[in-house]
């Protein structure tokens, strides 16, 4: 039987230090990609090739979970604003988060929606497209 383990506090400190704090586009890309990984692809469902993240798990909490998920989703919109993205792109991102929030309010439907409508993945694609177009030096291979 496997013993439960704890994450060492040094591991947490090292992870916190590795988060880029700059305002340059490369740092923004790393932060947004990290947030996407946390919210949409943190865990793999055993026996499948499907990934879920913190957004789907938090969404299981009635109303409050969807509100927290929307606030985490709006972080990416805030990063987009800092990149001076167009209003059209940011309004699409807000629409994605709002639709995810509204679907999440419907019991049962919201849990399935987190599985099929991934607003954070859509928003990361919009940000990456902007970064690739305006800051091609930040592009990474194998996204």
Map out the domains of the chain as residue ranges: 24-138
pTM: 0.81
Confidence of residue 68 (pLDDT cuts 50, 70, 90): very high
Q: Is the pLDDT of residue 66 over 60?
A: yes
Q: How far is CA 76 from the centre of its chain?
A: 7
Q: Which two tokens stand for residue 44?
A: 């793999």
Give CA torsion, residues 81, 87, 92, 95, to 10 deg.
80
User: Going by C-beta distance under 8 Å and a sequence separation of 6 or more, which residues neighbour residue 43?
Assistant: 51, 52, 53
Q: Which two tokens stand for residue 80?
A: 């987009």
């Amino acid at each position: 039987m496997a013993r439960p383990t704890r994450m060492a506090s040094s591991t947490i400190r090292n992870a916190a230090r590795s988060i880029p704090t700059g305002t340059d586009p490369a740092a923004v890309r790393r932060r947004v990609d990290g947030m996407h990984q946390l919210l949409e692809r943190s865990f793999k469902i055993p026996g499948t090739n499907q990934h879920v993240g913190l957004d789907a798990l938090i969404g299981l909490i009635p109303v409050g979970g969807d509100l927290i998920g929307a606030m985490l989703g709006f972080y990416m919109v805030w990063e987009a604003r800092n990149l001076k993205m167009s209003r059209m792109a940011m309004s699409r991102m807000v629409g994605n988060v709002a639709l995810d929030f509204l679907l999440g309010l419907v019991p049962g439907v919201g849990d399935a929606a987190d599985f099929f409508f991934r607003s954070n993945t859509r928003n990361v694609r919009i940000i990456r497209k902007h970064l690739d177009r305006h800051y091609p030096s930040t592009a990474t291979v194998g996204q």
